[in-house]
Chains A and B, each alone.
Chain A
Amino acid sequence: MENDAKRFLYVNRKAPYGTIYALESLEVVLIGAAFEQNVSLAFLDDGVFQLTKGQDTQGIGVKNFSPTYRALGDYDVNKLYVEKESLEERGLSVDDLQEITYEDEDDDWEEKPSINIVSRSEMADIMANQDVVLSF
C-alpha cells in the first residue's frame, strides 16, 4: 500500500473553536482515512493550539473535540508533525500538548508516539515531499 499510495498532507494553521477550520480538517482526515492513503498532519502557526492538553469547553457551550485526536491512531493516521518554532513563539513546549499514540502493527503492536516535533526547515521539507497538500 505504501508504495503506490499517494502522500497526503493536511496543513493545520488555525486555532480550535474560534473558527470551524480545525474541526473541519479533523473530520476530513477521519473520512479520508478510509481511502488508505499515506496521510500526514502538519501543525504550525496557530494550528499548534489544536493539540494543547486540558481543553475544557463546558463554559463556552461548544463540543470539545480534542479527545478525537487521540483516536487518529485507530484510523492509521500516526504522523503528526508539530513545528517547534510555532510552539515557542506562542509560549508553548511539547509538555503543553496532549499525548497521542498509535500501536505499531509492524512492531508487535508496540505503543509509539504519533507527535513529532520538527523544525521550520524540516517542516518545509515535509511539505515539499507530498503528492497532495490540503490546507485548513
Chain B
Amino acid sequence: MSTLHTVNKSPFSTQSLVSCLGHAKDGDTVLLIEDGVYGAISQSGISDAISARATEVNLCVLQPDLEARGVDAAKVVEGVNLVDYSGFVELAAKHSLTQAWL
C-alpha cells in the first residue's frame, strides 16, 4: 500500500509542498506538477527540505510542466526524477492511492 501525492502549487506561495512532504510515508511518490515544478529548482530557499526526503520518498517532477516554465533539467535538485505523461500514468497505476495537495 502506497500513495502517489501530486503537488500543483508553487512552494513559494503556499505550504502545500512542505505539508505534503511532512505527511508522505516512506515508499510513497511525490510528483510535482503545474506550478509545483518550481519546487524542484536547486539552491532555492526550500531545496534542502526537498533533498532531505529524497531517499525515503520517490520524488518526481513532470517534464512538460518543467519545460513550459523554462526550468532547465540541469537545475533540478539531485535525486528528483523527471517523468513524462505516460510516466505519470504508470505512477498512478503503481500506487494504490492518489492524493492531490491543492
Q: How far does the alpha carbon of A90 sit from the alpha carbon of B13 in the complex, in Å?
A: 11
**Which of the residues B9, B47, B72 comes within 8 Å of A18, measured between beta carbons?**
B9
Contact A90 B45 (CB under 8 A): yes
In contact, A56 and B9 (Cβ under 8 angstroms): no
* A55 interfacial contact with B, CB 8 Å: yes
Known contacts A15-B10, A46-B13; A91 and B42 CB within 8 A of each other: yes
Is chain B's binding surface mostly helix, strand, loop or mixed?
loop
| Complex-state Cα separation, A15 to B34, whole angstroms | 10
Which chain A residues lie closer than 8 Å to B44 at the CB level? Answer: 89-92
What count of chain A residues pass the 8 Å CB interface test?
A: 27
The distance from the CB of A98 to the nearest CB of chain B, in whole angstroms, is 8
- Taking a contact as CB atoms closer than 8 A, the residue among B34, B35, B68 that contacts A46 in the complex is B35
Cβ contact within 8 Å between B41 and A66: no
Q: Is B64 an interface residue, CB under 8 A from the partner?
A: yes
- Identify 12 residue pairs between A and B in the complex whose beta-carbon atoms are under 8 Å apart, listed by A's number: A19-B35, A45-B12, A46-B10, A46-B35, A49-B69, A52-B70, A56-B70, A59-B64, A90-B41, A90-B45, A91-B41, A96-B70
Cβ–Cβ contact B10 & A18, under 8 A: yes
Interface Cβ pair total, 8 Å cutoff = 74
Q: Which A residues lie within 8 Å of B43 (CB)?
A: 91
Q: Which residues of A contact B12 (CB under 8 A)?
A: 45-46, 89-90
Check A31 for interface membership: any CB of B closer than 8 A.
Answer: no
Expressed in whole angstroms, the Cα–Cα distance for A91 and B9 within the complex equals 17
Instruction: Check if B69 sits within 8 Å of A16, measured CB to CB.
Output: yes
Q: State the CA gap A45–B35 with chains docked (Å).
A: 13
Query: Which residues on the B side are within 8 Å of A60 (C-beta)?
Result: 64-65, 68
The docked-state distance in angstroms from the alpha carbon of A56 to that of B71 is 10
Could you tell me the distance in whole angstroms from the C-beta of A29 to the nearest C-beta in chain B?
A: 20
